[in-house]
Structure 1
Amino acid sequence: MKRMTQSVGTLVILGASGDLSSRLLLPAIGQLLTHHPERRFHLVGSGAEDWTDAKWRSVVKASFKTVKAGGPAVDELLKSTVYLSADVTKPDDLQRIFDACDGAPALYFALPPAITAKACEALGKLTLPAGLTLALEKPFGTDKRSAVALNKRLATLVPEDQIHRVDHFLGNSTVLNLIGLRFANSILEPVWNGDHIQSVDIVYDESLGLEDRARYYDHAGALMDMIQSHLLQVLAVFAMEPPSALDATDLRDAKATVLRATRVWKDDPVEASRRARYTAGTVDGEKLPAYINEPGVDPANDTETLAEVTVQIDTWRWAGVPFTLRSGKALGSRRREILVTFKPARHIPRGLKGHREPTMLRIMLAPDAMSLELNINGPDDPHEIERVALSADFGPGLLLAYAEVLEGILDGDPSLSVRGDTAVEMWRIVAPVISAWKKDDVPLQSYRAGSDGPASWKKIG
């Protein structure tokens, strides 16, 4: 994660006329150039729409305004950026894109997975430019088999360290915050194991509903959208052994070791998983329809909007510790945290009364913060134990998560990207759950939009 010399001369956004480009990628480029005005690279946009260069530049400029981008690097990019209308599944069109590039190009696939796969097939028919980098959005396949096939296809195009499987959820700042908290504090690392920790819950609850994402979400659901990808990556960073250095090899090796050791709790997906779907309700004063009545949703898909999966990590450090991953939509409160519950005190002397809950460490995500909940003697009666929380905010970092991702792509640093073998492992981990759900071994329950989930579910934390 150290600052490296930029290796990419041209960044190409495939699918440049889409929402991902205008809402996330272009603002990230503007912010990156604003904070690092020494950077220079060429930007090429390409999409199916028949846009002119002027239309493209107006879109780029509008996106830059959302982050107040400015400065000489921004001005230079706005003057030079071009747009090419192309069908990226055709080799001839991809060659036209390469011909418009200066220096080593990076292709960012801001496209649906099926189109990305076809574009990779087309790339295999070309003589590819030296130093080509490929950046792909999740999902990386739809199961273990397809993930393996995708890896094989990509390996015929470029080396693994020139493939960036993007997971913006774990930006540079969040990864470093977790690593710094754990390894820079001698009071924490000795108790970061199953001898002292009772359970770990990784929760990402959203109050937002479907938000016009039916085309993707109705075929993915909460399990594939969040748990199979983002939350397993968070688990890997949280649970990994100390890396010797903050470079791509050590970090990704440490995460891979964790994921290879991870499996569904007691190999029982029926008992270790739960799923539910929201019905009509009110969230933050706004009425939401039932999920099955959202535009574009097919009720026959039985798509879950809330999922919980408990896994175990078969290592000396984490043996016997349940890790529960939970994510859902249209819930009553927004909650994004890692909750570490320590084992209860072995003995509390007679004469002390009051709170006896175990110590809890909450590591909040986006924005990053922490809270350590302890039991201490109260201010009035010293025999009365009261609950207090010691809180702190982490440094937010200068850049948006996508800007940090793009920085790694431009500099040829894959530290934040998902390595091919771990993409396969994440599908392996959830495969038993997917199978059990397809067979309806785990019932699809319901919860009212704006609630905390099904009333029968035990609340986490």
Structure 2
Amino acid sequence: MTHPTPASLLTIFGATGDLSRRMLLPSLYHLQAEGLLPEDLRILATARTEMTRDSFLQLAAESIHARDPGARPDDAALQGLLQRIDYLPAGTDDAGSMQALAAQIQRLRRGDVLYHLSTAPKFYGAICQALAAHGAAGAGTRVMLEKPIGNDLASAVAINDAVARAFDESRIYRVDHYLGKEGVQNLIALRFGNALFEPLWNSRQIEQVQITVAETVGVEGRGDYYDEAGALRDMVQNHLLQLLCLVAMEPPARFDPTAVRNEKIKVLRSLRAIDQHSVTSETVRGQYSAGAIEGRLVPGYAEELGRPSQTETFVALRAHIDNWRWSGVPFYLRTGKRLPSRSTEIYLQFRKVPHSIFGGAAAADMRPNGLLIKLQPEERIELALMSKTPGLDRHGLRLSQVTLDLDFHQEFRHAPRRIAYERLYLDAIEGNGTLFVRRDETEAAWEWVDAIAEGWREAGFAPRPYPAGTWGPGAAVALLDRLGHAWRE
């Protein structure tokens, strides 16, 4: 297999869509401003929307301005990016437009080509087959696919099969944008770049792990999609399981695509199944009702949707990884909409000291150490330790918990804040697949999640209501309380 070379052409399908306007075009602008795009890279934008190149360039400029309305874009960088861009409308149901698009790709191509399918996954197969039919999917081409792919294992397999008929696996880059976040990459650096943590990163020293992805927003105009997916398929199968893999995987032999992905798939295949016999004890489903977010009254999910629904907007579950490193350690996963704050974090609680030498009040003050890795809204790492409380006391030492705090905004205050797609685009353009997801990972994740969804159906396990602005149904608290644990809030 020949090693990929930097792409000479980036073709974005769905270039007029929401993801492109919010993330993709601003990311390309920042890469342009920092001189990180290959000098000869051309960008071909395409979508079903009929518009001229000038109209699309205006849309692109407005999108870049809207990303940071308080800042003035670098005019030279903006013009440099716009000069790279062409626009050609095309639709998979219009063979003539796809033929014209393929011809334009061949005209612009000077080397490798990267396709980014920023469309609904149901179109992936048709787009890839059309590219192949017109000779635009051969050697030297690769394709980025947005997750989640499909809505269950069967549909994911069908989509993967359709894409595989045009592109072999080494040329398919499945995007989970969480893997492009600085904080997620720093988790890899924290684990495998420091001698301090690896000896402690196991069931002998860690009592529990919590992974939370909390949102304050509701469905925000995505009601029809979300009602079909729900929190389990939209977030657990996607982002939370990727974070779990990075926390739990064995050290890879090297930081390259094959080694990292091999360790992640081992974690997914070690997950204990949750089925109809265990869903009621290991999972919690919720759906938000009317409540208040940051002092503002908001309607319930059914009101926003405009009809009754049994779709969950909140999931909490207890996962077990049945291998030597993690046997006996519960991994608590939690995600939901209309929660009190927007937060993505990973919390590892270490076991208590085996014996306390301190008596009296100091013994009661003892708390287990904890490592908090916050990914958003701000990236930071906190290590909670016990320390002597300053002062004099006839009754002996008093203890307090203090944190060693690495605040990225302070430590790296001069470094620009990155959009996840900046890293993902840079890697995909250069042919580095380390931060992308392999086919067997997506299908193993779907297999595990499908068992939960099927268990819910067979057990008649309906979502429990929770008021907007709270941390989900009370059953989510009980899920941890049974083992003497509590959510970090």
Scaled by the length of structure 1, the TM-score of the pair is 0.93
Deviation at 1:282?
A: 1.0
Encode CA deviations 1:170-213: one digit per residue, 9 max, x unaligned. Answer: 11633431122112222211110011111111001111222222
Q: How does 1:331-346 map to 2 (within 5 A)?
A: 331-346=339-354
Q: CA deviation at 1:448?
A: 0.6
2:226 aligned partner: 217
Q: How does 1:14-413 map to 2 (within 5 A)?
A: 14-36=13-35, 39-40=38-39, 41-65=41-65, 66=67, 69-70=73-74, 74-101=78-105, 102-103=108-109, 104-129=112-137, 130-171=139-180, 173-264=182-273, 268-294=278-304, 296=305, 298-300=307-309, 302-349=310-357, 351=359, 352-366=362-376, 367-380=378-391, 381=393, 382-394=396-408, 399-413=418-432
Q: Secondary structure at the match of 1:45?
A: strand
Give yes or no for contact 2:245–2:267 (8 Å, CA) kept in 1.
Answer: yes
- Distance between the aligned counterparts of 1:136 and 1:405, measured in 2? 12
3-state DSSP of counterpart to 1:28: helix
* Residues 263-272 or 425-434, more deviating: 263-272
Structure 1, unpaired ranges of 5+: none
Whole-Å separation in 2 of the counterparts to 1:158 and 1:78: 29
Q: CA RMSD in A?
A: 2.2
Show CA shifts across 1:200-227 (max 9, x none): 1100111122222213211111111111
Residues 117, 145 of structure 2: 8 Å contact kept: yes
Greater alpha carbon shift after TM alignment, 319-328 vs 123-132: 123-132
Count, aligned residues? 456
Find the residue that maps to 2:7 and give its secondary structure.
coil
Please state whether the residue corresponding to 2:466 is helix, strand or coil: strand
User: 1:88 deviation in Å?
Assistant: 2.5
Checking the alignment, whether the CA contact within 8 Å between 2:184 and 2:375 is kept in structure 1 is no
Report the alpha carbon displacement of residue 347 of structure 1 after superposing the two structures with TM. 1.3
Match of 2:464 in 1: 445
CA distance in 2, matches of 1:435, 1:410: 39
Deviations 1:257-282 (A, max 9, x none): 21121234697222111110111111
Superposed CA offset, 1:141-189 (max 9, x none): 2212222222222222112121111111111633431122112222211
**CA distance in 2 between partners of 1:147 and 1:99 (Å):** 30
Which amino acid is the alignment partner of residue 356 of structure 1? M
* Amino acid paired to 1:405: L
- Deviations along 1:111-158, whole A, 9 cap, x unmatched? 112223332343453323442211111111221222222222222211
Query: What secondary structure does 1:170 align onto?
Result: helix
Deviation at 1:91, TM superposition (A): 4.2
Letter in 2 for 1:385: L
Whole-angstrom distance in 1 between the partners of 2:416 and 2:452: 36
SS in 1 for 2:211: strand
CA contact (8 A) 2:46 2:87 kept: yes
Instruction: Give the 3-state SS of the residue equivalent to 2:179 in structure 1.
Output: coil
- Greater CA drift, 9-18 or 174-183: 174-183
Relative to structure 2, which stretch is displaced further, 83-92 or 245-254? 83-92
Aligned partners of 2:434 and 2:265: how far apart in 1? 13
Aligned amino acid, residue 58 of structure 1: Q
1:424-453 per-position Cα deviation (integer Å, ceiling 9, x unaligned) = 010011122111222354331011111122
Q: Select the residue among 426, 444, 447 that pairs with 2:445.
A: 426
Equivalent position amino acid for 1:378 in 2: T
TM-superposed deviation, 1:230 = 0.6
User: Relative to structure 1, is the Cα distance of residues 7 and 37 closer, same or farther in structure 2, using a 3 angstrom cutoff?
Assistant: closer
SS of 1:439's equivalent in the other structure is helix
Q: With structure 2 as the length reference, what TM-score do the two structures score?
A: 0.87
Contact 1:30 1:70 in 2 (8 A): no
Q: CA distance change for structure 1 residues 398 and 451 in 2, over 3 Å: closer, same or farther?
A: closer
* Equivalent pair of 2:274/2:451 in contact (CA under 8 Å): no
More off after superposition, 372-381 vs 65-74? 65-74
Matched letter for residue 311 of structure 2: T
Instruction: Give per-residue Cα distances to partners, 1:2-32, cap 9 Å, x unaligned.
Output: xx98521211111112111111111111111
Q: Tell me the SS of whatever aligns to 2:237.
A: helix
Aligned residue for 2:177, secondary structure, equals coil
Relative to structure 1, the CA distance from residue 131 to residue 71 in structure 2 (aligned partners, 3 Å threshold; closer, same or farther) is farther
1:370-426: CA deviation from partner (whole Å, max 9, x where unpaired): 111222221124422222222112457763101111112211111111100100010
For structure 2, the 5+ residue unaligned runs are 478-485
